Amino acid sequence: MAETQSRLVAVSNRVGPLSDEGQAGGLVVGLSDALKRHGGLWFGWSGETSAEGTQSREKTEVQENVEMTTIDLTEEELKGFYLDYANRSLWPLLHYRLDLAEFDRASDRIYRNVNHRFAVRLMPHLREGDLVWVHDYHFFYMGSELRQAGYKGRLGYFLHIPFCSPEVFSALPASHDIVRAMLAYDLVGFQTERDRRNFVNFCTGELGGEELDEERLRVGDRTVITRAFPIGIDAEAYARFAVSPEAGEHEEMLRDISRRRGAPEGEEGGRKLIVGVDRMDYSKGLLERFYGFERLLEDYPENRGNAIFLQVAPLSRSEVDAYADLRHQLEHTAGHLNGRFATLDWTPLQMMTRGFTRKALAGIYRAARVCLVTPLRDGMNLVAKEFVAAQDPDDPGVLVLSRFAGALAELKGGCITVNPYNTDDVAAALQKGLTMPLEERKRRWQVMREAVFTGTAQHWCQTFLDRLEASHDEAGGTGGK
């Protein structure tokens, strides 16, 4: 595939870092891999607040071949745009949690205004021939704002999280405005075909749109291309991380803590390790996962004293009540489970909220016999792919993956698929993973490895940008800035 020549301008809420600083968050990981390869401008929020907010002076930092330019938010913008509208309205809605979604017109207004301000601030940076690529649910209106500000060049959008079914999406007071605004993009990308289908069904069912072919959709006088582009990881780099000294140190540490007292080194003396790695978010199904592990210890008692579950769950969005509540529930449940099953020399469930570098995480994945990835909904889930890339080919671990993760479409040939709401199912999958013979582990891992090393971050970026380059005329744009 030819490398795209045009400059890439990426817009996302969080910008950088490009380096490995133990950042938790799939978008940053996926996009920084892509930008480093492609070069260009990355524009977004500085992560800071100031009295001037979106009117503040720009901060620019150049790292490698990427220029990162950011502006601030005011405290009011941070609350209305980010905490309230993005994370109290849109995030739960798009993850099918209407019970947690709150809608109010003040945050709706601020969200629209912040999108407008970011578009106004980006305009002077745009050059003829640029490919502008807007990311995620923070910037649904950005494309139409750029068009209103006079931008006529190529404009793409990618949604990292699920697009829920039209019945659920239509509960959002601004649902029509948002989807109409998304039609200003030339290309709208989703993680999976399921998400794309939901979007198309909303357009046809609610807005009188018409599907012209497999990709093109017409609503009124707008024609837009929609397509699934499953995001990936830099698999080669991840596999290298996994054999770095830092990874080795972490792998070794875990083997030490899972060694039975007085037992010899090696497989015979070790307890089997299950790991989970997720931002602490209700969409990740952490509580249900703890219940699944508890059921494993109840129903398959041979695991008592012999299995350890390590859940790495860095805190996320702690200012939002639902996240603070989740933390309490998890701590309570972990405490209850350990109180019930622990012995003097065995703590079955260990939860930690700290971040790790990517190399350290790779070592943790490599030490695990089973990785438990059981979101209740997930756009893709990069952890599942990282786990696969980090495995030792001679002794690979087993992936237990939720049927509601976007990653299932690519990994279903090798993982054990579970319904995360079904505690018995999770326990049985864990038991199967813990007892799976080496030959079967290798066979399943090969299938997943193939998918992870084919559908990489680079492939995701390149296929999106190639499609965007070609899309403008088809989507009815006029070219140039």
Which residues are near ligand ADQ by CB under 6 A? Answer: 22, 24-27, 29-30, 160-161, 231, 277, 279, 312, 314, 355-356, 361, 378-383, 386
Tell whether the torsion through CA atoms of 331, 333, 336 and 338 is positive or negative. Answer: negative
Burial class (CB in 10 A: 0-12, 13-18, 19+), 340: exposed
How far apart (Å, rounded) are the C-alpha atoms in residues 403 and 375?
A: 8
Contact between 171 and 98 (Cβ < 8 Å): yes
Least CB distance to ligand ADQ at residue 459 (A): 14
Annotated catalytic residue within 33, 278, 378, 425: 378
Closest CB to ligand ADQ among 90 and 428? 90
Least CB distance to ligand ADQ at residue 375 (A): 8
Closest CB to ligand ADQ among 203 and 231? 231
How far apart (Å, rounded) are the C-alpha atoms in residues 4 and 466?
A: 7
How far apart (Å, rounded) are the C-alpha atoms in residues 384 and 411?
A: 9
Contact between 88 and 99 (Cβ < 8 Å): no
How far apart (Å, rounded) are the C-alpha atoms in residues 122 and 9?
A: 10
Least CB distance to ligand ADQ at residue 232 (A): 9
**What is the per-residue DSSP string for 372-397?**
EE--SSBS--HHHHHHHHHS-TTS--
How far apart (Å, rounded) are the C-alpha atoms in residues 149 and 123?
A: 7
Closest CB to ligand ADQ among 383 and 388? 383
Sequence-distant (≥ 6) Cβ neighbours of residue 337 within 8 angstroms: 290, 293, 294, 297, 348, 349
Contact between 173 and 108 (Cβ < 8 Å): yes
How far apart (Å, rounded) are the C-alpha atoms in residues 319 and 313?
A: 16
Tell whether the torsion through CA atoms of 448, 453, 458 and 461 is positive or negative. Answer: negative
Closest CB to ligand ADQ among 120 and 243? 243
Closest CB to ligand ADQ among 114 and 373? 373
Tell me, yes or no, if 20 is annotated catalytic. Answer: no
Measured N-to-C along each axis, helices 235-242 and 438-454 cross at an angle, to the nearest 10 degrees, of: 140
Annotated catalytic residue within 95, 138, 160, 250: 160
Least CB distance to ligand ADQ at residue 243 (A): 17
Tell me, yes or no, if 135 is annotated catalytic. Answer: no
Least CB distance to ligand ADQ at residue 114 (A): 20
Least CB distance to ligand ADQ at residue 229 (A): 10
Closest CB to ligand ADQ among 410 and 469? 410
Active site residues: 160, 378
